[in-house]
């Protein structure tokens, strides 16, 4: 995807983050899975993928890891849109088998100085819920020189 194509999928207030979003779009794992960005605004990220034969389980349905990969990458784009964050926890529930085109929508539940929490829902082409997830991320702090500051663990 080219930068201008990505900007056309972003709301005007989110377009200033297009370059950092393009880096996330181009993440090797996302490219292998075939995740596409459908739309982005500051409070909603929509991504999709079309399940390919090599992404299916032994029963001919989308492998749970494929669905989770879509959830996780949609969460990554949402939580890293404005600032650097790193995932800290995920709770994922699967409701029905997935196949065809799957769409994930991430919306914030809560944002604070140190954490972000998102609700992500995956639906199939019929609009039926395939999976849902609550994902939490820690904001990565930086010092005045822009270096990452890690918490001291004891």
Side-chain half-sphere exposure of 129, counting CA atoms within 13 A = 9
d(CA 33, CA 84): 23
Q: Where are the domains of the chain?
A: 3-140
Whole-model pTM above 0.85? yes
45-68 pLDDT, tens digit per residue, is 999 999 999 999 999 999 999 999
Which tops the pLDDT comparison, 75 or 113?
Answer: 75
The CATH number that domain 3-140 falls under is 3.10.129.10
Per-residue confidence (pLDDT) for residue 141, from 0 to 100: 77
Asked whether the predicted pLDDT for residue 148 surpasses 90, the reply is no
- In the chain, what percentage of residues exceed pLDDT 70? 92
Q: How far apart are the first and last CA of the chain?
A: 44
Which tops the pLDDT comparison, 147 or 15?
Answer: 15
């Amino acid at each position: 995807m080219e930068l201008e194509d990505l900007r056309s999928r972003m709301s005007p207030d989110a377009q200033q983050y297009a370059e950092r979003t393009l880096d996330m779009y181009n993440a090797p794992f996302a490219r292998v899975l075939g995740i596409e960005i459908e739309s982005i605004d500051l409070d909603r990220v929509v991504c999709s993928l079309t399940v390919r034969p090599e992404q299916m389980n032994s029963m001919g349905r989308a492998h749970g890891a494929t669905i989770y990969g879509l959830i996780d990458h949609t969460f990554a784009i949402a939580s890293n849109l404005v600032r650097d964050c790193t995932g800290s926890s995920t709770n994922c529930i699967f409701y029905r088998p997935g196949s065809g085109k799957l769409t994930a929508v991430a919306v914030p539940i809560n944002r604070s100085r140190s954490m972000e929490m998102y609700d992500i829902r995956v639906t199939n082409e019929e609009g039926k819920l395939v999976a849902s997830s609550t994902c939490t991320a820690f904001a990565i702090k930086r010092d005045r020189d822009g270096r990452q500051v890690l918490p001291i663990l004891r």
